[in-house]
């Protein structure tokens, strides 16, 4: 980048070029070249690792008005077969906060973490029994609007829970 800027400056300074072009054109070309270099230097974006990106999709970036995401249950499949959701299940929501906090519409609380790419570990404190338990889901997919989680049930079946963003 610096070599390009130096080359442009050397080009403008050469006597033959100055003799052929008016000073006004030289200043215009110099300003255009300077503006292009300035724009190129200022358009750098920080690339975040995939693990951090999944965390931000799940719970927000932590910046103003993006400190939590609420996910509403959209569908459930057991061994590939759709399950009919009850009204209570249709209204079930999980809230993940940027700082690692968790709550749901069953009044359970706890914390969450993504210890590895495509793994979501939730530690629950059940409201009724005050018992602590944890579950690790496989993240099948997650984006800014939808999330699919997979869980191997104790009976050997696989459950897939699909959520949509609710906030």
50-165: CATH topology: Lipocalin (2.40.128)
- What is the pTM (predicted TM-score) of this model? 0.71
Give CA torsion, residues 78, 84, 89, 90, to 10 deg: 120
pLDDT in tens, 1-59: 566 666 666 666 665 555 555 655 666 666 666 656 655 666 667 789 999 999 999 99
**For the chain, which residues make up each domain, given as ranges?**
2-42, 50-165
pLDDT in tens, 62-104: 888 899 999 999 999 999 999 999 999 999 999 999 999 999 9
Determine phi and psi for 88, rounding to 5 degrees: -65, -45
Rg of the chain over Cα atoms, rounded to whole angstroms, equals 27
Q: What local confidence, expressed as pLDDT, does residue 40 receive?
A: 60
Determine phi and psi for 26, rounding to 5 degrees: -60, -45
């Amino acid at each position: 980048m610096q070599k390009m800027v130096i080359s442009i400056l050397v080009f403008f300074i050469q006597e033959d070029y100055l003799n052929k072009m008016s000073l006004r054109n030289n200043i215009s070309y110099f300003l255009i070249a300077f503006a292009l270099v300035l724009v190129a230097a200022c358009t750098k974006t920080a690339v975040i690792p995939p693990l951090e990106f999944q965390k931000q999709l799940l719970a927000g970036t932590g910046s103003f008005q993006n400190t939590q995401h609420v996910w509403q249950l959209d569908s459930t499949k057991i061994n590939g077969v759709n399950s009919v959701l009850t009204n209570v299940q249709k209204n079930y929501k999980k809230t993940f906060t940027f700082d690692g906090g968790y709550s749901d519409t069953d009044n359970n609380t706890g914390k969450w973490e993504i210890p590895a790419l495509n793994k979501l570990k939730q530690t629950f404190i059940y409201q009724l029994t005050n018992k602590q338990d944890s579950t690790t889901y496989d993240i099948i997919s997650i984006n800014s609007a939808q999330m699919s989680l997979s869980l191997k049930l104790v009976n050997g079946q696989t459950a897939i829970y699909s959520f949509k963003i609710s906030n």
